Amino acid sequence: MKSAESNRDLKKRVGYAAAEKVEDGMTIGIGTGSTVAFFIESLGKRVEQGLSIRACATSYQSSLFCEEAGIPLIPLRKLDRLDLAVDGADAIDPDLNAIKGGGAAQTVEKIVAAMAARYILIADADKLCEYLGETFPIPVEIIPDSLAYVIGRIRELGGDPVLRMARYKDGPVVTDNGQFILDIHLSGKKDIFAYDAALHHIPGVIETGLFLDMAAEVLIGRDDRVDVMTK
Q: Kind of pairing, strands 138-142 and 180-186?
A: antiparallel
The residue annotated as part of the active site, out of 23, 41, 67, 109, is: 109
pLDDT band at 50 (very low <50, low <70, confident <90, very high): very high
Q: Could you name the CATH architecture of 4-127+212-223?
A: 3-Layer(aba) Sandwich (3.40)
Confidence of residue 1 (pLDDT cuts 50, 70, 90): very low
Q: Measured between alpha carbons, how far is 231 from 217 in angstroms, rounded to an integer? A: 7
Show the DSSP H helices in 117-167 as ranges: 147-156
Percent of the chain at pLDDT above 90?
93
**122 has a pLDDT exceeding 70:** yes
* Average pLDDT of the residues in 41-56: 97
Listed in order, the ranges of the chain carrying CATH 3.40.50.1360 are 4-127+212-223
98, 121 contact by CB (below 8 A): yes
Q: What is the pLDDT of residues 14-24, one digit of tens each?
A: 999 999 999 99
- Is the backbone of residue 125 left (phi > 0), alpha (psi -120 to 50) or beta? alpha
Contact at 8 Å (CB) between 157 and 195?
A: yes
Give SS3 for 63. Answer: helix
| Residue 2 pLDDT > 70 | no
Residue 163's CB: how many other CB atoms inside 10 A?
15
Phi-psi region for residue 172, left (φ > 0), alpha (ψ -120 to 50) or beta? Answer: beta
> Does 5 have pLDDT greater than 70?
no
pLDDT tens digit string along 181-204?
999 999 999 999 999 999 999 999
The per-residue pLDDT of the chain, averaged, comes to 95
Confidence of residue 9 (pLDDT cuts 50, 70, 90): confident
Query: What's the pLDDT at 4?
Result: 59
Residue 40 phi/psi, 5-degree rounding, is -65, -40
Arithmetic mean of pLDDT, 11-37: 96
Classify domain 138-208 by CATH architecture.
Answer: 2-Layer Sandwich (3.30)
What pLDDT digit, counting tens, does each position of 131-177 carry? 999 999 999 999 999 999 999 999 999 999 999 999 989 999 999 99
CATH code 3.30.70.260 region(s) in the chain: 138-208
| pLDDT at res. 6 | 64
Rounded distance between C-alpha atoms, residue 43 and residue 52, angstroms: 11
Q: 120 by DSSP, 3-state: which?
A: strand
Phi-psi region of 113 (alpha: psi -120 to 50; beta: other; left: phi over 0): alpha
Is-catalytic flag, 109?
yes
Q: Against a cut of 0.85, is the pTM above it?
A: yes
Could you report the per-residue pLDDT of 67-85, keeping only the tens digit for each?
Answer: 999 999 999 999 999 999 9
